[in-house]
Amino acid sequence: MKTIFTVLLFVTFSVTSFAQTDAYSEDVKKCIKSNRTMSYYEDVMNQMYDMLKVQYTDKNVPDSVWAEVKNGKNAAMDELAQMIVSAYRGHFTHEDVKNMNILYASKAGKNMFRPDDLTEGDKVILTEFYKSDTGRKITGSQDSMNESMSKIAEMWSSGVYRGVIALLSEKGYNL
């Protein structure tokens, strides 16, 4: 009986832990979409595709192969998001991420990325946010987060680039 109870208790904690982890990941993904991190890296990918098309111009790679290359974009963006989740996990609690999402969903949070639209009221809200525990944690961890994001960006972009080169090579297109 004790064994069954122990197993049930373990399963319950495992499922609860997984659900919390999954919710954390989803909230971070929402956050990095709202703060435009993901759109920045989508632009990076598009620029990489353009650069590769130029590099492979004389190889006459058909549009169908380029379309296949670009089909990997969603998987690459998902991988990046998961890498960023791990960086956030090292710096912010789930509550911090929820607070960030509340900010980014607000008018002030949206306007912070459009300085021309930022009102005095927005500036007051942003100032108050950055005085909060979460805001202080963001500003206090900027150097560490920037270092983490730099490493993530380097690993991710080089991995994506190598993957595209490998796919093109499999198709018979080599530099």
Q: Which residues of the chain have pLDDT under 50?
A: 1-20
Determine the pLDDT at residue 85: 98
Which residue's structure tokens are 């296949």? Answer: 68
| Residue 58 DSSP code | G
The pLDDT score that the predictor gives to residue 21 is 57
CA-wise closest residue to 101 among 68, 62, 129 = 129
Mean pLDDT across the chain: 90
How far is Cα 145 from Cα 124, in angstroms, rounded to an integer? 25
pLDDT on residue 144: 97
Residue 104 pLDDT: 96
**Radius of gyration of the chain, Cα coordinates, nearest whole angstrom:** 21
H-only helix segments in 37-141: 37-55, 63-70, 73-89, 94-105, 107-111, 120-131, 133-140
pLDDT at 65: 97
- Side chain identity, residue 54: V
Domain ranges of the chain: 25-170
What pLDDT, in 10s, does the model give residues 121-131? Answer: 999 999 999 99
Query: What tens digit of pLDDT does each residue of 43-53 get?
Result: 999 999 999 99
Handedness of CA 11, 13, 16, 20 (dihedral sign): negative
Structure confidence at residue 99 (pLDDT): 98
